[in-house]
Amino acid sequence: MTTEIVRVSEVMTSHLVYLHADTSAREAAETLTRHRVHGAPVLGEDKSVVGVVSKTDLLDARNYPKDREAVVGDLMTHIVLAVRTTDPLMLAVRLMVNEDVHRALVMNEDGTLAGVVAPMDVLRALAKGLPIGDPSHVESMEYVNLAWVGKNE
């Protein structure tokens, strides 16, 4: 008897808090705090993902000159790593561990943003006794590297 493993789409958060690249660092920090999240995807003008920003990234705004307010686009991480909705949850776990990130973006097959998987989502799945899979089953699978050339080199 084989047990079907949990897919990313089954545990991801789909009601997202997201920011725009031109949002001020102050407004971004207020938004993240208000929604009780530690980071969010950053969308460009065409609503595609252009980065990820965390509260830690926003601390860098303190180093900006007084005459210039930092915006999310200045502070975000430009390299975005993601998994697909159909991927096994263990692949998202592997991404977060191997890349030392606190969230994995989840993309639909058409490349649009579907959601986010955070460590708490994985813990909830484990607490429910869901079969999240064996790490050895995803070793040969690749997560999506949505790399944008940017300031974070």
pLDDT digits 0-9 by tens, 131-142: 877 666 655 556
Give the amino acid at 43: L
Q: Which residues contact 51 (CB under 8 A, 6 or more apart)?
A: 21, 41, 42, 72, 73, 76, 77, 78, 80, 148, 150
If DSSP codes are grouped into helix, strand and coil, which group holds residue 96? helix
CATH class of the domain defined by 8-147:
alpha beta
User: In this predicted model, what pLDDT tens digit does every residue of 26-59 receive, in sequence order?
Assistant: 899 999 999 999 999 999 888 888 899 999 888 8
Q: Please, which residues bridge with residue 104 across strands?
A: 117
pTM: 0.77
Nearest of 16, 144, 140, 13 to residue 79 by alpha carbon: 144
